[in-house]
Structure 1
Amino acid sequence: MTQQGERWTTDQVLALAPDASSRTAGSRLGRAGPWSGVGSSDNEGTVWGLCKGSGSRPYQTAVDIAGASGPAYKCGCPSLKVPCKHVIGLLLLWTVGEGAVPGGRAPDWVTQWVAGRRERAERKRTAGASGSAAGPGASEAARRRAEQRAERITGGATELEQRLTDLLRGGLAGADQAGYGLWEETAARMVDAQASGLASRVRELGAVPSSGPGWPVRLLEECALLHLLDQGWLRREQLPDGLAATVRSRVGLTASAAGPPVRDHWLVLAQYDTADARLTTRRTWLYGAETDRAVLLLSYGAAGRAPEPALPVGLTLEAEVSAYPGAGQQRAALGRRFAPPAPAEIRPRGVTTTQAAARYGEALRDDPWLESVPVTLDRVVPVPDGDSWQLADADGDTALPLLPAADNRSGLWLLVALSGGAPLKVFGECGHRGFTPLTAWPIGPGPAVPLR
């Protein structure tokens, strides 16, 4: 951390900001004027400083770059945003190099904070390990609870099958007249049955009627997938182990990451949040340089609060990840980390647009409810296609329709500007509706550019 080349880039720091106003305010603080007592420690993986605020005492601001679950932040300001503008400003100052933030020994208030964090993390890890070795009485109680929940889910799935039958018997054309209330009532019944996955799909079903031209076809497709999931649950004992685990996950049963830890240098491919009125979900895609595989980290936070970890795109982690059970499962849990995140020249191996579509088709055999798969496209060019855009193979005659997020139109223009008509390497999610770009690289040298 004492060398300029090992520090994060400005884009990687700004990617941590929870919103646009934090990026703007943090950028104003990314200069030496408001700061004193700044420094960084290569051994401890920390950055710190004192920022002049509105009060008589400056805010103590610090970042634990080497935190076990990603960067962690401390600031004495009253802001509820994580990270706050002072943390953003400090990290921007740190990106400048030794002249702005020199290496040195961390002050006591920093070392005490870091030691406390890591001690709590170790206690939590130890408690989890001891909890998994609970006695036979606890195991028997857990087994009974699991059986009772499975019975409730079975009752909910059986009721849902009857409602789907009634819907199809009455005809899809009249589904828009029933209103959303009927679907919300059905979803509430699935929540009562502790089948949160079924409830989510029912709510999605309720949004299809009258959603635009061709909605009866889309409704029939969603009904078929929901029926397939119902039948998968009701006949789960007859399914292969991997597919049965996928069905359990899809109906809403949680499982721990039981796969063996895989150590690798993991490149942060993309990270973005989605939110509703109750929950913020963070999706982080990692690529293993040695294993040549992409894995997904999911984390959650209360509405309005950013989840952890916050991992800037383009950094590499030497760490272990463990896979969750399920056929074709891409989700994994981040485990032990062996070094702080650091910039690297790693890029994922790419495929053509034809190979990307085939990869999604193959993945559906293991998980018919899969919306998309992670794919890196090699040598593609964004080109207009009527009112929309597509990614066309620079060396072929095939293309994928481009589906930028409705709230992220700027990502599309950034992708087009980065290309300038030249081929790019683009990572994103490929599904039945097309390709959602998340990160791009120029063909020549250059850093990863987040598109979301």
Structure 2
Amino acid sequence: MLLSHGGEPSRTAAPVARWTVEQVLALTPDESSRKAGGKLGSAGPWSGAGCDGSGAVWGLCKGSGSKPYRTVVDTTGPAYKCSCPSRKFPCKHALGLLLLWASDEAVLGPAEVPDWAREWLDGRRGRAAAKAAAGGSAAAPADPEAARRRAERRAGRITGGAEELEQRLMDLVRGGLAAADQSGYGLWEETAARMVDAQAPGLAGRVRELEAIPASGPGWPARLLQECALLHLLDTAWLGIDRLPDPLAATVRTRVGLTSPADGLPVRDRWLVLAQYDTPDGRIVTRRIWLLGKDSGRTALLLSFGAAGRSPGQALPVGVTLDAELTPYQGGGQLRAELGAQFGTPVPSGTPPRGSTTAAAAAAYGRALRDDPWLESWPATLREVIPVPSGDGWQLADATGGTALPVVPSALSRPGLWKLVALSGGAPVTVFGECGHRGFDPLAAWADGSDGGAAETVPLI
């Protein structure tokens, strides 16, 4: 929902610009949805399709039954409604409708909103306006004292789990790392289950990461020792959390799995949507959305979660700019934020971020480790880099002859790497991604970013 400064729906904003096909595809929950939506991205299956200046897109899609599926999208959310039984968001019909809207203005043009679509649109926007008018704040706990006692009991359980984990790490080191290879996955699964019982999901997740290291190829003992050292550091940080500075203590709480509210000062800016991708983690799917404030230069991360096989609800098309407020969380460099009130309508951005050198990106990651020693990576935009082969992999080299960053192994099998190579064609490009100890993970790119000119955002994941 897009709101005006007074908290009411914006009625005077400029018409919502059509998205590009790349921006639509960035919303797909999985590869099968991408293929199914692509088949519905032509005019053939659709009737009664149209759009209006407020961001609504609707249409009737012919299916296997006698009645067509009613599909409507509010692109200012974005939010989706379809009469099909799919549990994916967006479903293939919503994706097909958006692809048609993005690619063929002659077929899907301005029209009067039908009653069946208007009912959902008015209801959605009315609820959002009412929530904004009420301040959008949750009710205070009914019994603060009871909440404090529950927090103390959970902290006690986490402390017990951390102490047990310390003992298991000591036993592993005393017995030699070869024991980890011989015991297989059972040792780590049992330990992770104990951390779940201790209500420390962050510790459980890091323990599960250890189980795959012995099978990761040559050099695994050194990698296992490094990860055990980081886990030991997190354990001891929790056990001595009362002696830590407040920002680091907030980071430790987050790392062991305690949630904290977004209670920083809201930051209003024109936020460029840099990247969006999903990561499955057992029964949960985590969606990460990276934003960059055009005025503040601040980078922010939006996190949302969904059950396995179900895409998280929050989604933003890559490459658009939205005027909005973000409220940061505590700890971890305060990158994570919560999306608040939005003002006006999202518009496609034709200007890539300025970026920095590969050396500066690596240095920024090093500085971020001082605030969060368990940090896997740090967001960075590289300017004037060229993707070039390097041994069995690829690297992003400074066009000016400086340093280079290796591309992370996980990106080598993704189609996005070849999109980046094709976009560059041997010429410098601007690339946004995550820089960490494994290398650089490219997430978005611009072909014309070095001179500040217009350029389309190309998602790479």
With the length of structure 2 as denominator, give the TM-score of the two structures: 0.91
The question of 1:410 aligning with 2:415 is answered: yes
Question: Do 1:266 and 1:289's aligned partners in 2 also have CA atoms closer than 8 Å?
Answer: yes
* Structure 2 CA distance for aligned equivalents of residues 307 and 250 of structure 1: 22
Q: Can you list the C-alpha shifts for 1:79-111, whole angstroms capped at 9, x where unaligned?
A: 333222221222122224653223243222222
Distance apart, 1:419 and its partner CA: 0.8
1:437–1:447 Cα change, 3 Å: same
Aligned to 2:57: 47
SS, match of residue 51 in structure 2: strand
SS, match of residue 295 in structure 2: coil
Quick one: percent identity of the two aligned structures? 66
Structure 2: unaligned runs, 5 residues or longer: 1-11
Aligned to 1:244: 249
The question of 1:208 aligning with 2:216 is answered: no
* Structure 2 CA distance for aligned equivalents of residues 404 and 215 of structure 1: 16
1:41–1:238 Cα change, 3 Å: same
Which of 34, 44, 48 in structure 2 is aligned with 1:33? Answer: 44
Distance apart, 1:234 and its partner CA: 0.9
Question: Do 1:3 and 1:97's aligned partners in 2 also have CA atoms closer than 8 Å?
Answer: no
* Structure 2 CA distance for aligned equivalents of residues 400 and 206 of structure 1: 28
* Structure 1 CA distance for aligned equivalents of residues 80 and 49 of structure 2: 15
* Structure 1 CA distance for aligned equivalents of residues 15 and 138 of structure 2: 42
Taking the TM superposition and a 5 Å limit, the aligned residue runs for 1:192-203 are 192-203=197-208
The question of 1:368 aligning with 2:373 is answered: yes
Question: Do 1:392 and 1:399's aligned partners in 2 also have CA atoms closer than 8 Å?
Answer: yes
The question of 1:81 aligning with 2:88 is answered: yes
1:209–1:28 Cα change, 3 Å: closer
The question of 1:129 aligning with 2:134 is answered: no
Which of 434, 437, 459 in structure 2 is aligned with 1:450? Answer: 459
Aligned-partner residue type, residue 370 of structure 2 = R
SS, match of residue 90 in structure 1: helix
* Structure 2 CA distance for aligned equivalents of residues 258 and 29 of structure 1: 43
Distance apart, 1:131 and its partner CA: 1.3
Question: Do 1:402 and 1:434's aligned partners in 2 also have CA atoms closer than 8 Å?
Answer: yes
Q: Which moved more, 1:368-377 or 1:116-125?
A: 116-125
Aligned-partner residue type, residue 27 of structure 1 = G
Distance apart, 1:293 and its partner CA: 1.4
Aligned to 2:394: 389
Aligned-partner residue type, residue 363 of structure 1 = A
Aligned to 1:18: 29
SS, match of residue 6 in structure 1: coil
SS, match of residue 169 in structure 2: helix
Which of 417, 434, 440 in structure 2 is aligned with 1:435? Answer: 440
1:408–1:16 Cα change, 3 Å: farther
* Structure 1 CA distance for aligned equivalents of residues 117 and 275 of structure 2: 30
SS, match of residue 129 in structure 1: coil
* Structure 1 CA distance for aligned equivalents of residues 389 and 36 of structure 2: 36
Distance apart, 1:124 and its partner CA: 6.5
Which of 324, 333, 339 in structure 1 is aligned with 2:338? Answer: 333
Aligned to 1:267: 272
1:417–1:305 Cα change, 3 Å: same
* Structure 1 CA distance for aligned equivalents of residues 412 and 332 of structure 2: 32
SS, match of residue 8 in structure 1: coil
* Structure 2 CA distance for aligned equivalents of residues 240 and 97 of structure 1: 56
Which of 380, 384, 392 in structure 2 is aligned with 1:379? Answer: 384
Structure 1: unaligned runs, 5 residues or longer: none
1:22–1:130 Cα change, 3 Å: closer
1:425–1:28 Cα change, 3 Å: same
Aligned to 2:195: 190
Distance apart, 1:409 and its partner CA: 2.6
Q: Which moved more, 1:160-169 or 1:192-201?
A: 160-169
Question: Do 1:30 and 1:90's aligned partners in 2 also have CA atoms closer than 8 Å?
Answer: yes
Aligned-partner residue type, residue 262 of structure 1 = V
Question: Do 1:272 and 1:282's aligned partners in 2 also have CA atoms closer than 8 Å?
Answer: yes
Aligned to 1:354: 359
Deviant stretches of 4+, over 6 Å: 1-5
Aligned-partner residue type, residue 92 of structure 1 = L
1:128–1:190 Cα change, 3 Å: farther
The question of 1:166 aligning with 2:156 is answered: no
Aligned-partner residue type, residue 36 of structure 2 = A
1:222–1:59 Cα change, 3 Å: same
Distance apart, 1:358 and its partner CA: 0.4
* Structure 2 CA distance for aligned equivalents of residues 119 and 445 of structure 1: 37
* Structure 2 CA distance for aligned equivalents of residues 251 and 79 of structure 1: 35
1:348–1:404 Cα change, 3 Å: farther
Distance apart, 1:121 and its partner CA: 4.5
Q: Which moved more, 1:252-261 or 1:119-128?
A: 119-128
Aligned-partner residue type, residue 137 of structure 2 = A
Q: Larger relative contact order (C-alpha < 8 A, sep ≥ 6)?
A: 2
Question: Do 2:300 and 2:337's aligned partners in 1 also have CA atoms closer than 8 Å?
Answer: yes
Which of 105, 118, 135 in structure 2 is aligned with 1:111? Answer: 118
